[in-house]
Amino acid sequence: MKTVAAESIDPKWAWEPWKPSEDSPWNRSAVYHLYRRVGFGISASAAQKAVDTGLEETLHQLFSTATNDEFETTTAAITKSVMAGGNLRQLSVGWLHRMLNTPTPLVEKLTLFWHGHFATGADKVNDIYAMQQQNETLRKHALGSFPSMVHEISKDPAMLIYLDSANNRKAHPNENYARELMELFCMGEGNYSEKDVQELARCFTGWEVRRLQFRFNRFQHDTGTKTLLGTADLESGEEAIDVVLKHSATPKFIIKKLYKFFIADEPNPSDELLEPLVTQFREDQLQIAPVVRRMLSSNLMLSDHCRNRKIRSPIEWMLGWMKSLDVSGNMQTLSEGLTQMGQSLYFPPNVKGWDGGRAWINSSTLVARANALHRLVNDGNTRYDKKSLGEFAKTAQIDKPDRWLNYLLETNLSASVPETQRDALLESVKSYTAEQALKEITCRVATWPQTHLA
């Protein structure tokens, strides 16, 4: 795979804070881009407000970690009622509500990132409480300390059940968690040996889950000394985790994954490009917030190198549409649609999580995307900022199909669309009634290839 050539992007320039200029102004396009990438999109009215309040205040709001009581109370009520129902498939309803309405967009986006990173599948864990607990753990650490998160996840009941590590006896250490901790959670494949896997597994013996609580069973712990990644005389699981966290591969692995999540699916970034971030992350003792904020407010983030370089995940795509149409929608239907599009919250495909990028797109998921939006728009209960679609358009002073098309393109599409493609669509809805045309245009744009990029 090609890498961004070091000579084409100067790493120093890339990660300096972006300053608006004549060529690259602070405008609605920049606002939509930032909100699509850092959060889950933004309504047209909020986007104009962001332009007016300026870059600094907008970043402040995007990066905020200060939630508010009213939002937390509503969300807690939804989550509570879902938990009472006990249906694992409905657990996503509370989280989707959160993503759509959160006062802390980056926290929520990163919680989703960490869910894919420390992927744990509800079908195997089969306990709604354990899954919800894990989600709260990930949110708590989303912008916090990576080491703290890894230590807590390593004792997380849902995780240990998922990786068959609810029992781990010294006679036959289970290698599953030990392997994934190095391969998928911290270092990446190829940076450790099979012997390291076996030694790390010995460190974790005696780590158990009983009645959905972590427990250390000293009778099952192998107390002999172990050598891991060249560090001798290790004894406990905690010491071993620290060795993994201190390994030079760890900051590289995490920064690269964050880059691909936030900046570009492809090409793969060069080591030189990532080096300033890796150094910072290491020097910050793997604190997440500073390096992520630097990445997201950088020259590179706001440059053309970062536009249309991501395939939107089903959640980003669907919530982006909902934001631009200002609809709240039925979260249950939304959740079912997302499953068909290949992103079922709490049900990642395997312990590696969602691959992202091109893997989001295939014939079935494209059909599912188009059909989900079709269902939303043709659902009689759907309200657009509490109005019908016609009234919503009127409020936005849209009186003709072409202006509606422009509105959708501006609020929800990052890639440009050729004139002829626009004209063909407008031509085909000429005989439609006003409201029909609005719906048809919306559904058709949802099938355009450009709509899947951000």
Partner 1 sequence: MNAVHPLLRRQFLERSLLAASGIGIGSAIAPKWLQGATWNAGDKSGRVLVVIQLSGGNDGLNTVIPIDDPEYKKRRPKLAIAKADAISIPQDLALHPSLKGVAGLLEAGRFMLVQGVGYPSPNRSHFESMDIWHSCTTKDKRGRTGWLGRWLDQQQAADKNQENQDSLAMHLGAEVQPFALTALDVQVPSLSSIEQFRFKVDTDPQTANSVAKMESVTGKSVNNDLLDFVASTTESAVTASDRIEKALKQSAAAGEFPDSQLGQKLQVIARLIKAGLQTSVYYVTLDGFDTHAQQPAAHAALLNQWSEALTAFVKYLESSGDLERTLVMTFSEFGRRVAENASDGTDHGAAAPMFFAGAKIDQPIVGKHPSLTDLDDGDLKHHTDFRSVYASVLEQWLKTPAEPTLGEEFASLKLFG
* Binding residues vs partner 1 (CB under 8 A): 1-2, 163-164, 166-169, 171-176, 179, 183, 189-190, 194, 197, 265-267, 308-311, 340, 342, 349-352, 354-355, 358-359, 361-368, 370-371, 374-375, 415, 418, 420-421, 423-425, 427-430, 440, 443-444, 447-450, 452-453
**Residue 72 vs 189, nearer CB to partner 1:** 189
**Residue 434 vs 443, nearer CB to partner 1:** 443
**Residue 101 vs 364, nearer CB to partner 1:** 364
**CA distances from residue 306 to 34, 42, 63, 280 in whole angstroms, order as listed:** 11, 19, 19, 21
CB of 352 to partner 1, least distance (A): 6
CB of 29 to partner 1, least distance (A): 17
CB of 209 to partner 1, least distance (A): 12
Q: Assess contact for 240 and 231: CB atoms under 8 A.
A: no
Q: Where are the alpha helices (DSSP H) in 15-127?
A: 28-38, 44-53, 55-62, 69-85, 91-101, 105-117, 122-125
Token pair in block for residue 232: 């001798």
CB of 415 to partner 1, least distance (A): 6
CB of 443 to partner 1, least distance (A): 5
Q: Assess contact for 321 and 314: CB atoms under 8 A.
A: no
Q: Where are the alpha helices (DSSP H) in 356-400?
A: 363-377, 389-395
**Residue 65 vs 193, nearer CB to partner 1:** 193
Cα dihedral 31, 36, 41, 45, rounded to 10, equals: 10
**Residue 323 vs 444, nearer CB to partner 1:** 444
Strand, helix or coil at 214? strand
Angle among Cα 374, 316, 351 to the nearest 5 degrees reads: 115
**Residue 102 vs 365, nearer CB to partner 1:** 365
Beta strand pairing status for 226-228 and 213-216?
unpaired
Question: Distance between CA atoms of 104 and 209, rounded to whole angstroms?
Answer: 33
CB of 276 to partner 1, least distance (A): 25
Beta strand pairing status for 207-210 and 213-216?
antiparallel
**Residue 227 vs 364, nearer CB to partner 1:** 364
Residue at 183: amino acid letter? E
CB of 183 to partner 1, least distance (A): 5
In 336-440, where do the E strands start and end? none
- Name the phi and psi angles at 232, rounded to 5: -95, 170
Residue at 312: amino acid letter? R
**CA distances from residue 341 to 310, 337, 348, 365, 371 in whole angstroms, order as listed:** 17, 6, 12, 5, 10
CB of 394 to partner 1, least distance (A): 24
CB of 169 to partner 1, least distance (A): 4
Q: Assess contact for 361 and 107: CB atoms under 8 A.
A: no
**Residue 47 vs 209, nearer CB to partner 1:** 209
**Residue 227 vs 285, nearer CB to partner 1:** 227
CB of 19 to partner 1, least distance (A): 27
**Residue 67 vs 421, nearer CB to partner 1:** 421
